[in-house]
Structure formats: structure tokens, C-alpha cells
Amino acid sequence: MDVLSNSDASQNLKHSEIESFFDSAPQLKDRDDIDRRLDEFIKKNSQSSGKLLRVVCVTSGGTTVPLEKRCVRYIDNFSSGHRGATSTEYLLKAGYAVIFLNRRGTCQPFCTSLPEDPLLSCFEIDKEQNLQVLGSQSEAVMRAVGEHRAATDQGLLLKIPFTTIFEYLQMLQLTAMSMKTLGTHAMFYLAAAVSDFYVPWESMVEHKIQSAPGPFDMRLVQVPKMLSVLRNYWAPMAYCVSFKLETDSKILLEKAEMALKKYEMNAVVANELTTRKEEVVLVTSNERIKVHRDNTQPDAVVECPLIKLLVENHSAYISTR
């Protein structure tokens, strides 16, 4: 009989949970296409004239947990995608190529400063039947279109959309494994709000759950944490930044410190739900840095100083390896 230590046994248990999650998840329909696009993107952006370039995977938005295979109802996770989209803009400005793994329908890079009016009310058709941007909106729309076009024309932005927890984790795995070759030049910026509990595919009902009197019981299983696998197997040399969101400020920093150590992250961005657009704390193994939005500038965002700091830390990480 094999005798396992407690830590070996718990490692094995975690591995089997992860394997069973992937084995039972419905396969991605466009898996080969995503794999091909990732490969092309990384080949193109990994070096230029012999110089190694940097690529970051930004995850953004919340994952859903379907309750039925032919899904009518699902549990959702709060996240507008603003953090991921805005951070992507600053990472592109800092010279990174960005893989934007994003929840369908959430905020997109370069759209965060657009007017809130529905898209169609930003345009009019003139007498010559040309499409014109309406006067008051034109500056913001033109800037957004121009910056987005520049990033996509240069092949620096690859968008991969997900909805469910099954799609998200399979896509994260594919992305991380293709970024492994980038070594220390890869960064993960894990701002997505990932479901903690889910209904395993094999125990999920096929059809719409019918209404019935009385309470309805459903068994949810814990989603295996993928941060350790990402760190240790998928892309072990990458610079990894995870996020910690809490609503109780008293436990926030303690939880961020715990995540930093437990998952061996290079940095954890701690944020509180109500103040997340004003301030965050960057927690690393030797410091806690409060990062604030510049209140003297009307359009300033906290992601601007945050990304500046992370880029400096990533540079230091590359040079010490």
C-alpha cells in the first residue's frame, strides 16, 4: 500500500478535482480555432528583431454557472469588466500585446470613455447618405475608434469571449499553455470574477427546471482553484497578478496576503467593492502599496498608476531571472 503524507494526499486530491472538472466539462466548440489564433498571436508578438516582447493575458468580467444543460437559468458573478478593459488600454500603451479573455457583453477596451447613449444615437446620416458622428460625441468616438483600430491593425489585441465557468477555465488553460514559451515575458492579470461553486455537467438536468411548490434544493460543488496549476504547471515562469475582492475592508488585506502566499502569486491587487474605482492596494511579498485615482483629473482612472507600477515590477522580475 502506498503511504502518502498529508500534503501529498491533498495535492493528489486537488489534481483529481481539476482533472475531473476538465474531463466532465462540455468541450469548447471552437477549441481548434482558439488554439490556432493563440499560436499565431504569440508567434507574432513574442519577438521583434531578436528582442523578446511582452505578452499579457487579461481576464475580465464574471463567469456564469448554468443550472440546466439547455440553459435557461444560471448563477452569475458580479463584474462589469471595467477593470479588465481599462487595464488593457494601459497595458497596450505600455507596449504589451494583450490577450483579452472577456465575458461576452461586458466592457470592452477603448469603449469605457464612450458616451453612455446607445450606439445608434451617436450617429446620423447626412444628405449625401454618409454616416456622421454627432457633434457632441465625435471626439470621444473618434478617439476610441482610432485607438482600437491601431491596436487591432498592428495585431496587438486578441479578444477571446467566454460566458460560462466551463468555457473560462478551458480558455485560460489553452491561453496559459500557449504562453508558456514566453517564459518571464508573460504576464497574467486575473481580474475576472470567477465562480466559486458550480453544478458539475454530469449531474446537471437537461431541460428547464420546472416550477413546483416548496423550497428547491440544489447541490453546488466547489470550483477547483486554478491559480496553483497556472503557477506551477501551465506557465511556471510567468509574472502572475491575481485579484482579491471583498466587501468587508477589515479582512481584505489579510485575505490578499493569504492568496499571495498560498498560490505563489507575484502580486495581488486588493480591492473593496464600493471603492474599487478610487483605490486599490498592491500586495507583494515585501510591500503593500496604496494606489489612488488622481482626483485632480476628471478623466483619471486608478488603472493608470496601477499598471505603471505592475509594469515596473514585471521589468524587475524579468531582470532578476
Within residues 223-242, the interface with ligand PMT by CB under 6 A covers 223, 225-227, 242
Told to check if 191 binds ligand PMT by CB under 6 A, we report yes
Within residues 253-282, the interface with ligand PMT by CB under 6 A covers 271, 276
Integer Cα distance of 199 and 194 in angstroms: 14
The DSSP symbol for 49 reads T
* Residue among 157, 160, 176, 194 that touches ligand PMT (CB under 6 A): 194
* Tally of CB atoms within 10 A around 269: 26
* Residue among 18, 46, 82, 302 that touches ligand PMT (CB under 6 A): 82
Min CB(73)–ligand PMT separation in Å: 21
Choose between 133 and 220: whose C-beta lies nearer to ligand PMT: 220
The DSSP-derived string for 69-136 is SS-S-EE-----SHHHHHHHHHHHHTT-EEEEEEETTS--TT-TTS-SS-GGGGEEE-TTS-EEE-GG
Choose between 45 and 302: whose C-beta lies nearer to ligand PMT: 302
Residue 310 φ/ψ, nearest 5 degrees = -65, -35
Told to check if 192 binds ligand PMT by CB under 6 A, we report yes
CA angle 38–41–46, rounded 5-degree value:
115
Number of residues that bind ligand PMT (CB under 6 A): 21
Choose between 46 and 271: whose C-beta lies nearer to ligand PMT: 271
Integer Cα distance of 24 and 200 in angstroms: 7
Within residues 161-190, the interface with ligand PMT by CB under 6 A covers 190
Min CB(192)–ligand PMT separation in Å: 5
Structural contact between residues 178 and 39, judged by C-beta atoms closer than 8 angstroms: yes
Choose between 72 and 258: whose C-beta lies nearer to ligand PMT: 258
Beta strands 288-292 and 279-283, pairing class = antiparallel
Q: Which spans of this chain sit near ligand PMT (rule: CB under 6 A)?
A: 79-83, 190-194, 196, 223, 225-227, 242-245, 271, 276
